[in-house]
Amino acid sequence: MTAKKPIPLSRPHYPAALRKTIASDIELILESGRLMSGPWARKFEERFAGLTAREHAVSLNSCTTALQIALSFVGVEGRDVLVPAGSFVTDISAVQFAGGRPILVDMKPETLALDLEDLDRKITPDTCAMIWVHLTGVIASDYDLILEFAAARGLFLIEDASHAHGAAIDGKPAGSFGDASCFSFYPTKVLSSGTGGMLTTHHPELARYAREMRMFGKQEGTGEIVHHGNDWFLDEIRACVGYHHTGELGTQVAHRRMIAERYTKELANHPGLRLLDLSPGSEPAWYQFPVFLAPEVDRAALIEAMKTKHGVETKGIYKPTHYEQIFRSLDDGTLKVTEDMLDRSLCLPMHAEVDAADADWIAAAVAAEVRALTV
């Protein structure tokens, strides 16, 4: 099997008509001279609040900023914050930026989300908050237990929904669960404005704090500097791109689900592979489509074979965060499930330019290479 064309792992997609509209609106932005704190940021926020069933949405320069603002608002300085070891590094960095102590929590293999038993083991009198990540764009089937855990212990719950634009479970959209919910618009994400972030919440005090923090800590109404803020706003050009791309969310998520169905049909029950077992009410966004390799399958060799023989880019979800040099001191030896699941993960191409035939072809190539590597 030889690829007809290289197939990247991810690629942002802006249809031709949408590109034309965005270009026209950016021309108007540039003509106006209003490059920040203008109508496009407000429109983007209003649209995103509606998508996430929230009262408030605040546009920011990144999801990392959204996380840091939420953590600063709750006052984590000198206190413990429970963080998934199976997440992106900025979930830990944001805690440290806000002066908190990240405590890494292991993963439940069925959901890729927080292991409730490990959460319970690691809570201390100093624990004030927890971060919950919808890894690969799948909301955990035991989400109700995660919500109950946080509520019963009085923990401020931050939902990192960077992978989950358009995801839902039991009719509830990603971004509607936490005390604060944080999104990324990085180029690889389901929605992208080039870069940027959004914080959504029902708390008016948090929304105001976020608006103040993104403008150097300047108090609304008085203009006095009352917080140690920064220039964390989302400019009008990126807000315009994000607003228009959000209008494509339903179409793009539906396409991702179609591709996921093709992968699942071809690879379910294949020797050497395991797929996520979704609950009936789960509607993933499929930021990534992960498969999990049997221990005898050499992942590095499989990634190389897919690239060199088939022109298909693949990779693991993430490294476990405590594998990174800067975070090795956070490894307490209890994160074995996270290590096992992420070390055996392989993500297949997932974006709007992968069509049904591509998906079938990619799945067949994966199956063939797994067979070859397990002989």
Task: Encode pLDDT of 250-263 as tens digits.
Answer: 999 999 999 999 99
Average pLDDT in the chain: 96
Cα(71)–Cα(92) distance, integer angstroms: 11
Which contacts (CB < 8 Å, 24+ apart) does range 279-283 have?
279/141, 279/169, 281/169, 281/170, 281/171, 282/138, 282/139, 282/141, 282/169, 283/167, 283/168, 283/169, 283/257
**Which helix H or strand E contains 64, and what residues bound it?**
helix 63-74
| pLDDT, tens only, 84-113 | 999 999 999 999 999 999 999 999 999 999
Residue 5: its pLDDT value, please?
A: 80
| pLDDT, tens only, 217-234 | 999 999 999 999 999 999
Q: What mean pLDDT do residues 364-372 have? A: 96
**14 has pLDDT over 70:** yes
**Which distant-in-sequence residues (6+ apart) come within 8 Å of 54 by Cβ?**
175, 176, 181, 200, 201, 202
| pLDDT, tens only, 194-213 | 999 999 999 999 999 999 99
Residue 370: its pLDDT value, please?
A: 96
DSSP string, 142-184: THHHHHHHHHHTTPEEEEE-TT-TT-EETTEETTSSSSEEEEE
| pLDDT, tens only, 146-200 | 999 999 999 999 999 999 999 999 999 999 999 999 999 999 999 999 999 999 9
**pTM of this prediction exceeds 0.75:** yes
State the Cα angle at 71 between 67 and 72, rounded to 5°.
115
Q: What mean pLDDT do residues 333-359 have? A: 97
Dihedral angle computed from the Cα positions of residues 10, 170, 244 and 218, in that order, rounded to the nearest 10 degrees: -100
Cα(289)–Cα(9) distance, integer angstroms: 10
**2 has pLDDT over 70:** no
Q: What mean pLDDT do residues 336-341 have? A: 98
Structure tokens at 224: 């006095």
Residue 3: its pLDDT value, please?
A: 52
Domains and CATH numbers, the chain: 16-246 (3.40.640.10), 249-373 (3.90.1150.10)
Cα(139)–Cα(147) distance, integer angstroms: 12
Dihedral angle computed from the Cα positions of residues 320, 323, 325 and 331, in that order, rounded to the nearest 10 degrees: 100
Cα(6)–Cα(314) distance, integer angstroms: 12
Cα(132)–Cα(116) distance, integer angstroms: 11
| pLDDT, tens only, 52-89 | 999 999 999 999 999 999 999 999 999 999 999 999 99
Q: How confident is the model at residue 265 (pLDDT cuts 50, 70, 90)?
A: very high
Residue 145: its pLDDT value, please?
A: 97
| pLDDT, tens only, 114-152 | 999 999 999 999 999 999 999 999 999 999 999 999 999
Q: Tokens 């030889």 — which residue?
A: 2
| pLDDT, tens only, 30-53 | 999 999 999 999 999 999 999 999
Residue 198: its pLDDT value, please?
A: 98
Q: What mean pLDDT do residues 340-360 have? A: 97
Closest CA to 111 of 144, 88, 134, 84: 134
* Residue 340 Cα to chain centre, angstroms: 21
Residue 58: its pLDDT value, please?
A: 98
What percentage of the chain has pLDDT greater than the value 90?
98
Contact by Cβ (8 Å): 199, 58: yes
Residue 374: its pLDDT value, please?
A: 84
